[in-house]
Amino acid sequence: MSPDPPHLRPVPGPASSAAATAGEGAAGNKWDGITRPRSRGGNARFLTDVIVDLGMVPRERVDAAIDTSRSGGVTPEAVLLERGEIDQISLSRAVAERHGLDHLDLTAFNVDMGAANLINTAAARRYDAVPVAFVGDRGLVVAMADPANVLALDDIALMTGYDVRPVVSSREDITGLVSRLTRLDDVVASTAQEAAEDDAEVVDLRESADEAPVIKLVNQIIAQAAEQGASDVHLASEGTQMRVRFRIDGVLKDTTTVPRRMVNGVISRIKIMAELNIAEKRLPQDGRVGLTIDGRHIDLRIVTLPSVHGEGAVMRILDKTAVVMELDKLGFLEPERVRFQRAFHQAYGAVLVTGPTGSGKSTSLYAALGELNTPEKNVITIEDPVEYELDGITQIQVNTRAGLTFANGLRSMMRADPDVIMVGEIRDREAAQIAIEAALTGHMVLSTLHTNDAPTAITRLIEMGIEPFLVASALDCVVGQRLARTLCPNCKTRTILSAEVLRNSGFPARMDIEAYDPVGCGRCGGSGYKGRLGLYEVMTITEEIRKLIIERSSADEIAASAMRSGMRRLREDGLEKVRQGRTSISEVARVTGTGIAEDY
C-alpha cells in the first residue's frame, strides 16, 4: 500500500478524511483533483444556503426553487438541476462544503483500481460510492455522492475491512467510474485465455455453463453498451477477428475486438438469446430479447448478417428509462414548439414528422402522444416494432407473416372509435391513402415519412399516388428534423465563426458569431460531446401552400412559401443552437449535409 501522503493525513474533527489543496502535487500525481473545503467539521446550514454562499445561484432563484420544491414533492437541489441553474459537479462541491469534506474530481484523479474493486459493482451503484485510493496501512478513501449516508460508510468498512475516509464526488462521475470497474478489454483478454484452454472453436453454447467465457463476454459487451448510452452494438467479422463498435450519440466508435476462436461462439450466443436458428448461417435473421441490467429493463432488437468475411450481428438497444419523451426537453426552440403543439392539438388533421433513419422521429411522436394521452381520448398506434410501451394507449404491432400490415391495421383501427391515430411509418400508397382519409374524417393522424426535409414530404405523398387535393385538405403540419450532438459543458472552448465562411457553407449569417468548439475530456469520453438535441423545421400548411400543392408545385416552391410564412430551416435552427453554445457548427454541418471550411 502507498504511504500516507502529507495532505491526506487525518486531521482533527469528524471530517478527518482526505484533505488536500487544489492542484497540490506534481502534474499527473494520483492526488490531483482534490479540493479542500473552506471549513472543517461541517455545520447545520441548508445545502441551498451553501449554494448561495459559493456564488453558484443567486438567492432569489434559490428561493424560487424552494417554493417549487414544496409543491412538487422534490428537493430544491433537484429543481435547480432540472432548471439548469447548477450541474452535478457544482452540486457535489456544495455538498462537500456543507459537510466539511474534500471534493474529488474523478476525471483528474488517478483511481487505484485495486481499491475500486474491493466492493462489487452492485454495492457501488446502491450506495453511489466507490473506493478510489489506499491511505497508509488501514485507510481507504471512498468517493461518495451522499456523505450523509452513514449506513453506506459502515457497510463499505465491513466489506473491505478498512477504515473508510469519505470524500465527495459528483454522482455522474461515480456512475461513470462504476461502469469502468471491469474494463471490456480486460474481459476479452481473460475470456480469450480461458477459451484458449480448449483448442476447438466455441460454436454451440446450448450445453455451456452460465459462466462460460463467451457468455460472460457477450453479457459484458451488452452491459457496457447500456452503461455508455449506446443505441446500437455492431459486431462485424473481419477474417481473423471480430470488430466491436458502439454507436454513441449517433456516431460509431471502436470498442474492442473479439479473438478469432471466440467469434462463432459470440454469434451463436446472440442467436440463442434471440431464439434464432444457430445452424442457419447463409440468411439474415432477426429477433428480439428482453434483459434486465442493473435493475432496469432494456429490449434488444437483433439482426444477424452473413458476409464474405463471416457472420456478423447488430443489436439495437431500446432503453425506455434513457429516452426523453417531453417536448420541452427535445431541443425545440419556442416558435417551432408552439407551431408543432398547435398542429397536433387540433381535433382532426394529419401531422407528419420526417427525416432519415435515426433522426428521432418516433421520439417526437411519442412526446406528442404524451400530451394527447388523456382519459377523454382514445389513442391507438400501429408500429413496426412497438419500441416503447406507453400506459393508457392501445399499441398494435405489425405482423406481416400473420397478414397484419400497416394498411390492414389502419382499417381495423378506424372501426375502433379512435380520436388519435399514430402510424409508425407511411411506407406505401395504401397506408398513405388510409391515413389521409382518416385525417379527413375527423381523426388526428400522426405519422412519419422518410424524406430529407419537410417540404419534400408533400411531393413524396403525391408521387406515391395520393391526389394533391386530398393532401392539401388533410395535411396541417410537417416537421423535418435531425439529431445533433450537444457539446460537453466541461470542456467546450470559445471560438469566433467568420460570417463569410458561414455564408459560403450555406449558413445564413450576417456577422461573425461567438460559438464553442469540442475539446474532449474524461466526462465525455474524449469526444467533446455528451448527449443529443434535435434540430427542427416546422412547416405549417398555409392557404398559399395548399394552392401550391393543388398545382403540383415543386418542393423548392413550397419551401420558399413556408419560409415567407416564418418557417426556419434546419440549418438556421442549428445555427441558433450554435449561438446558444449547445452544439458546434461542425456538428450541425455534419447532420444537415452541409460542408464547412475547417479554417474558420
**Interval 329-349: pLDDT, tens:** 888 999 999 999 999 999 999
Q: Is 28 left (phi over 0), alpha (psi -120 to 50) or beta?
A: left
Q: Return the CA Rg of the chain.
A: 27
pLDDT tens-digit series, residues 459-506: 999 999 999 999 999 999 999 999 999 999 888 999 998 888 888 777
Q: What is the identity of the amino acid at 60?
A: E
pLDDT at 566: 92
CA–chain centroid gap for 194, Å, is: 35
- 190 CB neighbour count, 10 Å cutoff: 14
pLDDT at 4: 41
- The answer, as to whether pTM is greater than 0.75, is no
Q: What is the identity of the amino acid at 487?
A: L
Q: Report residue 245: phi and psi, to 5°.
A: -130, 145
* Contact in structure between 398 and 384 (CB atoms under 8 Å): yes
Could you say which DSSP state residue 399 is in? Answer: B
Could you say which DSSP state residue 357 is in? Answer: T
Helices (H), 284-330: 327-330
pLDDT at 193: 55
pLDDT at 2: 41
Element (H, E) at 192: helix 184-195
Give the closest residue to 309 by CA, choosing from 202, 261, 237: 237
- Reduced to 3 states, what is the DSSP secondary structure of residue 496? strand
Mean pLDDT per 10-residue interval, the chain, length 600 residues? 38 34 37 62 71 87 87 84 85 89 84 77 87 85 91 90 91 82 51 50 42 76 84 89 91 86 89 91 89 78 91 89 78 93 94 92 92 93 84 89 87 91 91 92 94 94 94 96 92 89 80 89 80 94 96 95 94 92 92 60
pLDDT tens-digit series, residues 130-157: 998 888 878 899 999 999 899 999 999 9
- Reduced to 3 states, what is the DSSP secondary structure of residue 312? strand
Q: What is the identity of the amino acid at 545?
A: I
Instruction: Classify strands 312-318 and 139-144 as parallel, antiparallel or unpaired.
Output: unpaired
CA–chain centroid gap for 78, Å, is: 20
Enter the C-alpha cell of residue 93: 462541491
Q: Is 87 left (phi over 0), alpha (psi -120 to 50) or beta?
A: beta
Q: How far apart are CA 143 and CA 140, in angstroms?
A: 10
* Contact in structure between 535 and 592 (CB atoms under 8 Å): yes
Handedness of CA 179, 182, 186, 188 (dihedral sign): negative
Q: Is there a cis peptide before residue 259, judged by omega within 30 degrees of 0?
A: no
What letters, b where the CB count within 10 A reaches 16 and e where it falls short, cover 108-138? ebebbeebbebbebebbbebbbbbbbbbbee
Query: How far lies 587's CA from each of 450, 452, 532, 596, in Å?
Result: 21, 17, 11, 10
pLDDT at 40: 55
- Reduced to 3 states, what is the DSSP secondary structure of residue 581? coil
Torsion of CA 447, 452, 454, 456, to 10 degrees: -100
Enter the C-alpha cell of residue 337: 414548439
* DSSP letters for 319-353: -GGG----HHHHT--HHHHHHHHHHHTSSSEEEEE
pLDDT at 507: 84
Could you say which DSSP state residue 490 is in? Answer: T
